[in-house]
Structure 1
């Protein structure tokens, strides 16, 4: 298992076929204001790839875009809504179809309100991960080893986690509902970008 660091694009041919786990690191939580700094991606075979974008980047990353924009390749996320918006706004591709472990968790782990990635890794996989670097500066001139390990860990467990969550979704008869949620996520991300991030358009209000 290794963490590979790349500048501005993903090398061609480094990922196996099949679903890929994807995550992003940005300068903050407001997509249009806080630029995309890092995209993490893993094919679940043991390696993680980190693609860093500098402050002057034009986000011309043809290899990465080809993978993210491939409509025949499933992308796994934890809180896909945020990552989809960041990727579309900065890279210009809608990185779907997608699977969101946070949504799946909320549909089957109704006995808790703890749906963070760290909580899921601990309960579902019996492993631990550190979130110490979560709020660090991802736009600096250097990404240190602690940041790289944190970023890599955000995609390291998603393939195995999906398998366990799918077992629970099937058990509870909620797989169809989950898939409908996943299918809506690109639209939800576009609503966020367009200005409806904090308003529930389905509510009576």
Structure 2
């Protein structure tokens, strides 16, 4: 049974290990992950956050030794559901390593921002929410212990905030990509992201095989 929290940003449902089979999210979902660190080969997947853009977030806590997550994996691999991420390169690698999912199709607001917001070097989620949506989000819980058996309400609220604004961000960035004639280039980058994540898991981040 899910635990439910209510925050000013919206409702949060916390599940353990997998999503209930009866949940339906629609054709576009926002996704984020929390891990024990920044190396998906070493640092285990702890939490997966999902929202369909309706102000409700579903968090799936991944518990070591608790078995597979078939419903979550199927959603991540569903070709009819687009997955919105911010810095998808890391998240798709973490999901591949953590639950064995080859995530597709993918869209990434960080890549989109870098393609069209070339007047700035600020492409973090906090920056995008502030600059494009006028929304301030907190990063206070970013470095907390996501492997703890009991997540705090503050951790859950932080985790949810990372997906509750991605639909609105993508709408703004997609319009900019179209305006600047770079949507097709962005889509080509997005299609490559699952492979980029697998290359990272194989250790090809350094040296980068695309470097000279």
TM-score band w.r.t. shorter chain: over 0.9
Match of 2:11 among 2, 21, 29: 2
SS at match of 1:106: helix
**1:16 and 2:25 matched:** yes
RMSD (Å), alpha carbons: 1.0
**1:42 and 2:79 matched:** no
Off by >3 Å, runs of 4+ in structure 1: none
SS at match of 1:135: coil
* Equivalent position of 2:105 in the other structure: 97
* Equivalent position of 1:171 in the other structure: 179
- TM-score when normalising by structure 1: 0.96
SS at match of 2:162: helix
Runs (5+) with no aligned partner, structure 1? none
Q: Distance in 1 between matches of 2:202 and 2:58?
A: 30
Q: Distance in 1 between matches of 2:208 and 2:69?
A: 34
Whether the 8 Å contact between 2:25 and 2:51 is mirrored in structure 1 is no
Whether the 8 Å contact between 1:15 and 1:42 is mirrored in structure 2 is no
* Equivalent position of 1:114 in the other structure: 122
Match of 2:134 among 94, 112, 126: 126
The Cα shift of 1:13 comes to 2.6
Superposed counterparts of 1:119-158, under 5 Å: 119-158=127-166
The Cα shift of 1:57 comes to 3.2
The structure carrying a bigger strand percent of its residues is 2
The Cα shift of 1:93 comes to 1.1
